[in-house]
Amino acid sequence: MKVIKGKTKIAIIGAGVVGSAVGYILKNKGYKIAGIASRRLESAKKAASFIGEGEIFKDIVSAAKSADIIFITTPDKVIQEVCDKITENGGFKKGAIIVHMSGALPSTILNSSKRLGAKIVSIHPLQSFADPKEAVFSLQGSYIGIEGDKDALIEAKKIVKALGGRHIVISADTKAMYHAGAAVVSNYLVAIIDLGVKIYEAVGIPKETALQALMPLIKGTVSNIERLGIPGALTGPIARGDVSVVEMHLEEMRKNLPHMFRLFTELGRHAVRVGSEKGTLSKEDGEKLLNALTRKVVFLNPISEIKVIPRTSRGSYRL
């Protein structure tokens, strides 16, 4: 079913993963992909082939002139520069809607286009993408943050619906915090898993084996979060107030990975707060845990150093 009537014309400037995926979905939802432009002509050709439609422009101004809605899906650092260049050359129609898909930047970086009577909006999927095909699939059901001009938000909601997502309306002044939250659960999750892998490496378990061994636990934890929420999904020694086990962990971390000790303790302190919310952690045990987790440590080793503990005589790995 088409989400909109007629053929609203779209231009995509910046033919990367996101631009290609968005173009593909919108084309199949009744929008007309009128123009595609990219820094590299080959990228524009590749995007047009993937989308199945779209005139390729060498000039971004001409591409913008071809459309009613212009997606600037370039790297964040050049979005404003691209918008300003198109504005300076009269490339936006009066009433056109200018869209960027940056998570951190507000729609206001597109303000120059308003001199030509355009409306501005940012549309950011809470999702990570590796390639266009995967992105088309991943966008389905994803939440998508939108902020911008009132009139542009009306169209943005239609676009989100066409993409198969669910919209969250945010404000320009909270955009950075909105993006910080997304960065924590996506980028920092990778960093936390890397910490777990490096702890296993420190006891002699190869990196590839460590990741494979931890993956079922990672997936199970994410499943528990989805099913039980937070704080319900928190398990382990902090959730049950097992101070002695946490102290043992701290001692081993201090000895073997001192350069990661601070990160380990900061995460532990936050876990105590979550455990307190869950109700399984008594006030007394919570205070004992926080006390153990705030002990000072001298960082002597460079961050690249990992101490490997030899295997035991039985050939097993010693924690």
| Model confidence pLDDT, tens digit, residues 74-100 | 999 999 999 999 999 999 999 999 999
Structure-model confidence comparison of residues 297 and 14, the more confident one:
14
The pLDDT assigned to 6 comes to 59
pLDDT at 129: 87
Tell me the chain's radius of gyration from C-alpha atoms: 25
Q: Which residues contact 50 (CB under 8 A, 6 or more apart)?
A: 20, 23, 24, 132
pTM value surpassing 0.85: no
CATH match for 178-293 among 1.10.1040, 1.10.3470, 1.10.4030, 3.30.70: 1.10.1040
Q: Angle at Cα 1 formed by Cα 9 and Cα 137, nearest 5°? A: 80
CB under 8 Å to 53, separation ≥6 — which residues?
23, 27, 32, 33
Q: Are 131 and 17 in contact (CB under 8 A)?
A: yes
Nearest to 11 by CA among 98, 102, 141, 105: 98
- Three-class DSSP category at 242: coil
What does residue 210 show for φ and ψ, rounded to 5 degrees?
-60, -45
Q: Please write the tens of the pLDDT for every residue from 143-184.
A: 999 999 999 999 999 999 999 999 999 999 999 999 999 999
Kindly state which CATH superfamily the domain 9-170 is placed in. NAD(P)-binding Rossmann-like Domain (3.40.50.720)
Residue 197, both tokens = 């892998």
Contact 126, 160 (CB under 8 A): no
- Other beta carbons within 10 angstroms of residue 293's beta carbon come to 21
Angle between helix axes 261-278 and 283-293 (nearest 10 degrees) is: 170
- Judged against a pLDDT cut of 70, whether residue 104 lies above it is answered with yes
According to the model, what pLDDT value does residue 302 have?
42
Q: What is the Cα–Cα distance from 74 to 89, expressed in whole angstroms?
A: 19
Report pLDDT for 214.
98
Token pair 């919209």 is found at 167
Q: How far, in Å, are 52, 90, 195, 301, 304 from residue 211 at the CA level?
A: 39, 53, 11, 24, 19
Contacts of 48 (CB under 8 A, 6+ apart): 15, 36, 54, 55, 56
Residue whose token pair is 């729609």: 107
Cα–Cα distance measured from residue 75 to residue 125, given in angstroms and rounded to the nearest whole number: 15
Domain range list for the chain: 9-170, 178-293
Find residue 145's DSSP bridge partners. Answer: 124, 168
Please count the CA atoms within 13 angstroms of the CA of 209 that sit on its side-chain side: 9
Residue 241 CA, chain-centre distance (Å), reads: 32
pLDDT tens track for 250-308: 999 999 999 999 999 999 999 999 999 999 999 999 999 999 998 744 444 444 444 44
